[in-house]
Amino acid sequence: MKRTLLAILFLLLSLPMMAQIDTHHFLRQGYDDLNKGNFKSAINAFNTVIQVKPDMLEPYYFRGFCKFRLDDYQGAYADFQRVVELNPYFADGYRLRGVIKSLQQDYQDALEDFAKVIEIDPNNINLYSSRGYTYILMKNYEMAIADFDRALIIDKEFVPAYFDRGYAKMNIKDFDGAIEDFTQGIKLNSYKPGGYAQRALAYCEKGDYSQAIADMDHAIELDPQATEYYFNRAIIRYKSNNLNGAMDDYNKVLELNPDNALTYYNRAILNTEIGKTREAVDDYSKVIELNPHNILPYFNRGVVKFEAGDYKGAIGDWSKAIEIFPDFAKAYQARSSARYQIGDYAGAKKDENIAKQKIDEYMQRTAGDSLMADFADTSYNFRKVIEFDSDFYRANMDDGEVQNRRVVIDLKPIILLTAKMPEDDHLISVYLPSLEQLNSKSPTGFGLAFADHQADLSVDTVRSLLNLTEQAKLQSTFDRSLYFHQGMLNSVVHNYNQSIKSYTSAISIDPKFDLAYLNRAATRFLMIEYMNSLDDIAPVVSLNGDNSNSLRTEVKREVQTDYSEVIEDLNVAIELNPQLGIAYYDRGNVKCMSRDFAGAIDDYTRSLEAGPELPQAYYNRGLTLIYLKDKEKGCYDISKAGEMGIEDAYAVLRKYCK
């Protein structure tokens, strides 16, 4: 990949079309950021080039690669699609588009793209590596090995082919062949920790645990922040009966990645084995918190409670498992045992009969339903250590793979006018004649700007500025801008009632003051949120922590929040100025909080049509669409939000859009 990027960069820097210094500068900046792993910064640079030269191939190619590294497959696909439209003979555009298709499990189309690459460039070594990996995803390991063989014929020192071929050989149980490939790859690149980690797993499969641990130790030494290495070493230690060592490694994973459900699950099993019942229950509870629709932690927690004599607690957990998966025969059988223990003989007998019925039903079905086989098999052991899951990442991300950062997936805030602070880099640039007029008569010395946060002003500063506006009012009682600034300043220090009064005074002076209606609506909304947070009754709308693609709405007490005055103010602002896109955006947020999701989507759309093109509008509309189970459109919006600079978008893409 690196050689391809360098070749393209050399080509593009030599082209006459690159004579303009700005284009050259931003391409170089973007490419440098890409090489450093600063993908978000690189995307910003390539965006600038695309704005200037929308028909230039290179920025789309590099931006697509950045999006790919950020797990934004939909965005990457769009960029590589643009690449092949601009140049139908550019082989690597088809190759990378094929890679994206394979990751989206569109294998046939991916193979067609790879075939196109062969037509254009039959000796493209990266093609055989990419197609080989696609065959691995298809579980066609023999074809994968054949492609890696071809890559190594072209270049016998092509390290990725050795590692990937070794992985393919592991999957056909050729562990000696896999170890040989991993060893050759390590000889060519002894500083790549993944090679040692893969060879460790091959040694583990052969039962050579001491060599496996030595290799995993080396991988950890090279990359001490890679959580999957600690996790896999825990598995190896567990298999070699080093339970204390396994526990240490699970603890290290959770220190680096406190939301790794699989590690809590495995640690719960280990805690059960060593007799730490309370700790096991706590770990299963954490798994449930992170994955509330997975039946296994409920079932296993029920087992632990049953063995500890908490029969009612066990019944509750097994009932939840049955609620999630009504054909779970073993859960009925387990609950039957618990009901016998508490003297509920009728309930126990009923569960026993249902379990038998579920097993009989399965026996009459086709033998290919392996899921039903496991859950209907009352002898199946669900309390076994799970060996690997994809939810692992390095813990020390800077500007690189930001999709792996821990974020709260929630709506982006409402937008309002606030004091324009010179050090604030997150202001929203909007040209409005009414805003220009306000800023031309600022009584505070601060201009006003749109932002999704309040200005960072101290209480003493706000008090001084309010005194200034009071003195100015002695000279001009009917100046609407004085009251507007007083409303803004009071809002900054959470003096919401006085803020609303000030905006109301500004509106009484000028009933067509659209920005006063906008900010009064925002202040009313913020006051509701603030009061709800004090009472701990706030309705929270966000995506669930699991992969159920649903928004979470929590109301700790049955309180119906009244946003009617907020909506009324925003309606008037929009009526006075239909091109005030921010008012549509804010109204979309309020509708979303009111669970009018269809109305919210409509308002986010109207906000984008009216302008400015807010990344927050794409982000919030994307979350809402995902909630409504329109993942394709929702993930497109989230991708667009990420492209426009919202880092949290990549965490959403990674979790919900893969």
What is the SS3 string spanning 105-149?
CCHHHHHHHHHHHHHHCCCCHHHHHHHHHHHHHCCCHHHHHHHHH
- Range name among 62-76, 80-94, 228-242, 353-367 with the lowest pLDDT average: 353-367
Residue tagged 């999630």 (tokens)? 324
The pLDDT score that the predictor gives to residue 19 is 43
**Does the pLDDT value for residue 356 go beyond 60?**
yes
3-class SS at 578?
coil
Contact criterion met (CB below 8 Å) for 597 and 614 = no
Q: Hey, is 410 helix, strand or coil?
A: strand
State the chain's mean pLDDT as an integer. Answer: 86
Mean pLDDT computed over 554-561:
45
Residue-wise pLDDT tens digits, 623-650: 999 988 898 899 999 999 999 989 889 8
Instruction: Render pLDDT for 249-278 as a digit per residue (tens, 0 to 9).
Output: 999 999 999 989 999 999 999 999 999 999
Rounded (10°) angle between helices 496-509 and 480-492: 160
| Cα–Cα distance, 158 to 160 (Å, whole number) | 6
| Rounded Cα–Cα distance for residues 160 and 182 (Å) | 10
Is the pLDDT assigned to residue 549 strictly greater than 60? no
Between the CA of residue 223 and those of 218, 237, 315, 396, what are the distances in Å? 9, 19, 44, 10
- Write down the pLDDT at residue 404: 46
With b for 16 or more beta-carbon neighbours within 10 A and e for fewer, the 321-340 pattern comes to bbeebebbbbbbbbbbbbbb
Q: Cα separations (Å) of 611 from 428, 437, 569, 603?
A: 11, 20, 19, 12
* pLDDT for residue 303 is more than 90: yes
pLDDT of residue 153: 96
The amino acid that residue 17 corresponds to is M
Q: What pLDDT, in 10s, does the model give residues 207-253?
A: 999 999 999 999 999 999 999 999 999 999 999 999 999 999 999 99
Task: Answer yes or no: is pLDDT of 537 > 60.
Answer: no
Among 475, 470, 473, 501, which residue's Cα sits nearest to residue 487? 501
Mean pLDDT of 526-549: 56
Cis peptide, bond prior to residue 612, ω within 30 of zero: yes
Query: In 3D, which of 33, 28, 38 has the Cα closest to residue 8?
Result: 28
pLDDT tops 60 at residue 401: no
DSSP-derived secondary structure for 454-490:
-----HHHHHHHHHHHHHHHHH-TT-HHHHHHHHHHH
pLDDT band at 376 (very low <50, low <70, confident <90, very high): low
Residue with tokens 């196109």: 116
Question: What is residue 644's DSSP assignment?
Answer: T
Mean pLDDT of 501-530: 93
Domains along the chain with CATH numbers: 2-239 (1.25.40.10), 262-376 (1.25.40.10), 416-656 (1.25.40.10)
pTM check: above 0.85 = no
Half-sphere exposure of 75 (CA within 13 A, CB side): 28
Read off the tokens for 295.
Answer: 């039946």
Query: Can you tell me the distance from the alpha carbon of 452 to that of 447, in angstroms, rounded to the nearest whole number?
Result: 16
Q: What beta strand segments (E) does 342-419 contain?
A: 416-419
End-to-end CA distance of the chain: 22
Whose tokens are 């899921």? That residue is 371
State residue 100's pLDDT score.
94
Predicted pLDDT of residue 557: 37
How does residue 186 score in pLDDT terms, banded at 50, 70 and 90? Answer: very high
| Mean pLDDT (whole number) for 479-503 | 91
Q: What are phi and psi of 223, to 5 degrees?
A: -145, 85
The burial of 433, by beta-carbon neighbours within 10 Å (0-12 exposed, 13-18 middle, 19 or more buried), is given as exposed
Residue 565: its pLDDT value, please? 94
Give the per-residue pLDDT at 446. Answer: 83
